[in-house]
Amino acid sequence: GKDKAFAKKLKEKGVYIGLQLDGFTADTHEKIRGRDLVKDKDAALASINEFQLPTQMIFVAARGVNEHQIGQAVELLMSNDNILSLNFQPAAFTGFGGGKFKHDPMDRLTIPGVIKRMEEQTNGKVKVKDFAPLPCSHPQCVSLTYLLRLNDGSFIPFGRFVDFRKHGKMLRSSATLGASAEMQDVFQEVIHEVFANQDEIERGPEVLAALRRSVDVMFPDRPVDPKEAVKIGESQAKSIFLHHYMDRHDFDLERLRKCCHHYPQVDGRVMPACGFNMFHRGAAAGPETPKAPYGKGPFIK
């Protein structure tokens, strides 16, 4: 955040930022990251805003540490044009840091707990019913919702006007909406449904107007290159993801088998994320993590 030349170069290269922001107070950072990072994070946010860097915010949520600041993170997402997505990660106690982190394995935050706190702390701007599991993963691993930008600049979750059981194709492992022909068909179907039921939908006429605007912008009558399509999608909606990685306390082979978040290895193998983190990441040598079989070099026996 303090290196303006570096931030300018990131802008020129079209780099997307992943900002780890686990809270907004010194005590929160000290408990999770070991030191007060408030000034550093404020400086990073200032550079993001100055250079208009597209950003995903990552928030590790831990019971009794920062759960009271979950709603504040959602409010920041909705109020900052440069933050496109918010990824909540309920704490998983693996690796050196996780292994040392004091916790009660029987009293921890999970995906439903984080969503409940979102609803409570945002006065219902985001609700439990707004979220759905990511179709490609196990339902206990990833949940998400998209937030439609209304014409007045406010946001409303897609779950208020989209039946995700019917339109599961709208849920993607992506921070932004896609601009594919398949997605265009889904949008048209949703528009017809909202038009027919707008009196029963929260802010129905506003939602309908925003959906029509999004279709016009995302699917113009001209060729659109992939980079432009991504930018267009970013301008129409934001997203909130919740991704709960496993640790020794909740490791589940069924979840591992259905994983759609993989780490490619230099030897050609592709590993599910939690399997890699638990058993193969060489640096993961915390007291609560099984010893990595490949030592300090994760990929070398």
Tokens 């992943």, located at residue = 18
Residue 207, pLDDT > 70, answer yes
pTM for the full model?
A: 0.90
The DSSP line for 5-61 is: HHHHHHHHHTPPEEEE---SSHHHHHHHHSS--HHHHHHHHHHHHHHT--EEEEEEE
CB 138 within 8 A of CB 255: yes
What are 114's two structure tokens? 């984080």
The values of phi and psi at residue 35, to 5°, are -160, 165
3-state helix, strand, coil in the chain (%, to 5): 40, 15, 40
Summarize the confidence of residues 124-153 as an average pLDDT: 96
What are 295's two structure tokens? 């030592």
Which of 15-19, 60-64, 109-113, 262-266 bottoms out in mean pLDDT, i.e. has the lowest? Answer: 262-266
What is the pLDDT at residue 182? 84
Q: What is the mean pLDDT of the chain?
A: 90
Of 260, 241, 228, 22, nearest to 147 by C-alpha is 241
Of 90, 139, 134, nearest to 111 by C-alpha is 90
Summarize the confidence of residues 66-94 as an average pLDDT: 97
What are 254's two structure tokens? 């069924």
What is the pLDDT at residue 97? 76
What is the pLDDT at residue 169? 85
Which of 26-40, 155-169, 285-299 bottoms out in mean pLDDT, i.e. has the lowest? Answer: 285-299
**Span 91-138, pLDDT tens digits:** 998 876 777 788 898 999 999 999 999 999 999 999 999 999 999 999
Question: Can you point out the beta strands (E) in 49-118?
Answer: 55-61, 83-90
Residue 59, pLDDT > 80, answer yes
CB 251 within 8 A of CB 59: no
Give, in order, the Cα–Cα distances in Å from 65 to each of 33, 95, 242: 12, 19, 18
Summarize the confidence of residues 217-230 as an average pLDDT: 88
Of 41, 39, 142, nearest to 83 by C-alpha is 41
